[in-house]
Amino acid sequence: MPAALVLLLTSCHSGPPRAPSIGVAYVGPAALNLRSDIPLDSKGVATVKHGDRLEILQRRRKFLRVRSPSGAEGWTDERLLLAAADMAALKELSAKAAGMPSQGAATTYGDLRVHTTPSTQAPSFLVIKNGEKFDVLSHMVVPRVDVPRTALIPPTPKKVKEPPKKKEPKGKYPLPPMPKPPPLPADWLDLSKSDLSKEEPEPEPEPGPKAIPSDNWSLVRTAGGQSGWALTRRLSMAIPDEVAQYAEGHRIVSYFAVGSVQDGDQKKSTWLWTTIGGSGQPYDFDSFRVFVWSLRTKQPTSSTTCKATSRWYSNRWNSAAARARHRRLESIPVFRCASRSAAGKGIARSSQCWGTRCGLQVMQRARPARR
């Protein structure tokens, strides 16, 4: 009986031994195909999903041979994998984004790739399809440079080399002393003079460093709760076209419905939006406008417009009751915009909208919002 048991165990482990793991990585894209060899046209052996844990077995240049949770082994590009620290940072970002207020819904006119970090080199773990709506949470301007990545394989510790021993000079007799330097010539002052007219012209100053191009990125959140970074130029804010037509070539950064007007059997919203005139600016918007529905012209009209040369983003919309000067206005929503005046002072504007009117209630000094 024991001999039969030993024979059975030997037959179960008759396959080749498994390669040892030299590191751990996680899948970055939504789906990743593992190939039997390095060439892209090699046969696929398995498909893994975003977040799956992979064991790294071998490395060749920028390609890694990995083992999937099911035991399949194949090759992939190391740029498509995430380190444990990157995966933890992505989970932290999703948890933080879950509690952030939306700056307005947006849509895309083509497949939109969502990245783990605001960089085109970062893995894309989600693709938003054409026409899908999602929430925009914040914006960021990032220089278009190579971003260092966390090493997937721990570096091999280098051996400390002992300093070489100094060799003592061979010989029985010491070296002779250095001779004295020769004296200066008698006319050394005349020799030092030069004709400035014959001197070469001074070289032109070298041009300064070239400006590094940058990209605008938006932190987005899908209906399923997934959050990541997408290029701002690839998305479009989903404000109604009857209001969006007044953007005048500026990009709409955020928008909010701050009230409504009853026009017969239809209910028309009062819209607040913020816009920016160019990309790569150090602030998030440079103007905001309020559009109310006109009962006379049957179209939205601009009720409040405020423009400036420099602003920081601190646009807050409160739908609950707010303090006001009169009790009859306590149930009317209030929106607050923090901005910087032309003199560089922070100003907080609190406004209220009721019916077809929108007016400034409070203006006070404010501090810049932390970004």
CATH code for position 102: 2.30.30.40
- For residues 60 and 105, membership in a common domain is answered with no
Cα distance between residue 271 and residue 360, in whole Å: 16
Residues 109/98, Cβ–Cβ less than 8 Å: no
Rounded alpha-carbon distances, angstroms, from residue 340 to 39, 237, 313, 369:
56, 25, 10, 11
- For residues 118 and 230, membership in a common domain is answered with yes
How crowded is residue 302: how many other Cβ atoms within 10 Å of its Cβ?
Answer: 12
- pLDDT, residue 37, reads 93
- For residues 96 and 64, membership in a common domain is answered with no
- For residues 220 and 110, membership in a common domain is answered with yes
Q: How many domains does the chain have?
A: 2
Instruction: Kindly state the average pLDDT of the residues 41-60.
Output: 92
- For residues 131 and 221, membership in a common domain is answered with yes
- For residues 74 and 26, membership in a common domain is answered with yes
Q: Classify residue 354: in a domain, yes or no.
A: no
Residue 197 has pLDDT above 60, yes or no: no
Least confident of 66-75, 174-183, 232-241, 274-283: 274-283
Q: Classify residue 135: in a domain, yes or no.
A: yes
88-112 per-position pLDDT tens digit: 989 999 999 999 999 999 999 889 9
Cα distance between residue 88 and residue 117, in whole Å: 12
- Residue ranges making up the domain that contains 219: 91-142+213-238
Question: Could you identify the residue written with the tokens 């077809």?
Answer: 356
- For residues 95 and 123, membership in a common domain is answered with yes
- For residues 72 and 23, membership in a common domain is answered with yes
Q: Classify residue 49: in a domain, yes or no.
A: yes
- pLDDT, residue 148, reads 81
Q: What's the mean per-residue pLDDT of the chain?
A: 78
Q: Classify residue 205: in a domain, yes or no.
A: no
Which pLDDT band, with edges at 50, 70 and 90, does 328 fall under?
very low
- pLDDT, residue 326, reads 36
Cα distance between residue 68 and residue 61, in whole Å: 20
Q: Classify residue 314: in a domain, yes or no.
A: no
Q: Classify residue 253: in a domain, yes or no.
A: no
Question: pTM higher than 0.85 for the full model?
Answer: no
Residue 315 has pLDDT above 50, yes or no: no
Q: Classify residue 299: in a domain, yes or no.
A: no
Q: Classify residue 78: in a domain, yes or no.
A: yes
